[in-house]
């Protein structure tokens, strides 16, 4: 795991990204940079293209053009199954916890792709809510516990870039707070994190920078320390 505090190289560089689902053209030239060790959010209204941007990185949209470079390697044109093996972990909005499997079984499911991943005891230390729940069936977990497990199982794999799609959606404030604590600890460990959020108050507590998306474009980039003076603009962008 690289030391996120000292390394400032660009890890992910997205240029003029276009994405399509069949005939429908959804992303119209997205540009995003993520430096090693950063936490960056994608903000924007429903349908702005946040999820599609993540799916484009993972190669799971119909078609994509432009450039997505991860640690200097071009992902456009790369076979879908190779992308996670480069060290990119994706936690989709729907979380994908297997109801019929136990917590431990869910945790062990994603294959280890690189050395340097977290150990199971380290993961349980990060998510105390899951500790001692190893034999609990996926179905018996609350929404918050499922979200924690969905993040937890990526951490074993050795991925150093983590994509989280709306990890706080539908969760109670106390659980959102716990997820915030975990994300901050992951940043301290050197993980690089891209986070889709609708809740910019939460985003402000964990992110270095915010990209704002509208109708398949990035329309703004706001450093976290400038969030306060950009509140009016953000309210307009997000319609909140």
Residue ranges in 191-210 that form contacts with ligand ADP under rule CB under 6 A: none
Between 95 and 156, CB nearer to Mg ion: 95
Q: For 149-207, give the DSSP string.
A: HHHHHHHTTT-SEEEEESTTTT--HHHHHHHHHHHHHHHHHT-EEEEE-S-HHHHHTT-
Residue from the set 51, 106, 146, 192 that interacts with Mg ion by CB under 5 A: 51
The H or E element spanning position 217 is strand 217-223
Cα gap 237→171, rounded to integer Å: 23
The size of the interface with ligand ADP (CB under 6 A), counted in residues, is 11
DSSP code of residue 142: -
Which tokens in the block code for residue 60? 């799971």
> Is residue 50 a contact residue for ligand ADP (CB under 6 A)?
yes
Residue pair 69/75 in contact (Cβ under 8 Å)? The answer is: yes
- Estimate to the nearest angstrom the gap between the alpha carbon of 161 and the chain centroid: 8
Residue pair 11/70 in contact (Cβ under 8 Å)? The answer is: yes
Between 26 and 154, CB nearer to ligand ADP: 26
Stretch that binds ligand ADP, among 19-27, 68-76, 146-154, 178-186 (CB under 6 A): 19-27
Q: In angstroms, what is the minimal distance from the CB of 54 to ligand ADP?
A: 8
Q: In angstroms, what is the minimal distance from the CB of 164 to Mg ion?
A: 11
Residue pair 192/11 in contact (Cβ under 8 Å)? The answer is: yes
> Is residue 23 a contact residue for ligand ADP (CB under 6 A)?
no
Q: In angstroms, what is the minimal distance from the CB of 48 to Mg ion?
A: 8
> Is residue 178 a contact residue for Mg ion (CB under 5 A)?
no
> Is residue 144 a contact residue for ligand ADP (CB under 6 A)?
no
Stretch that binds ligand ADP, among 42-50, 142-150, 155-163, 219-227 (CB under 6 A): 42-50
Footprint on this chain of ligand ADP (rule: CB under 6 A)? 21, 24, 26, 44, 46-52
């Amino acid at each position: 795991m690289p030391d996120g505090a000292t390394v400032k190289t660009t890890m992910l560089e997205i240029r003029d990204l276009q994405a399509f689902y069949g005939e429908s053209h959804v992303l119209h030239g997205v540009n995003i940079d993520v430096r090693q060790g950063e936490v960056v959010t994608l903000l924007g209204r429903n349908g702005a293209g946040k999820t599609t941007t993540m799916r484009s990185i993972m190669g799971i949209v119909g078609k994509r053009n432009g450039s997505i470079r991860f640690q200097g390697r071009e992902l456009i044109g790369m076979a879908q199954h190779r992308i996670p093996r480069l060290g990119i972990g994706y936690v989709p909005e729907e979380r994908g916890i297997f109801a019929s499997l136990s917590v431990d079984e869910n945790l062990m499911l994603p294959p280890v792709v690189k050395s340097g991943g977290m150990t199971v005891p380290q993961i349980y230390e990060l998510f105390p809510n899951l500790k001692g729940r190893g034999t609990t069936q996926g179905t018996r977990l609350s929404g918050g516990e499922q979200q924690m497990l969905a993040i937890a199982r990526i951490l074993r794999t050795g991925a150093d870039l983590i994509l989280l799609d709306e990890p706080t959606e539908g969760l109670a404030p106390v659980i959102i707070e716990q997820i915030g604590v975990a994300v901050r600890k992951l940043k301290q460990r050197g993980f690089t994190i891209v986070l889709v959020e609708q809740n910019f108050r939460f985003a402000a507590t964990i992110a270095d920078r915010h990209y704002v998306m509208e109708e398949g474009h990035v329309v703004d980039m706001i450093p976290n320390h400038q969030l306060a003076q950009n509140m009016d603009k953000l309210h307009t962008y997000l319609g909140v």
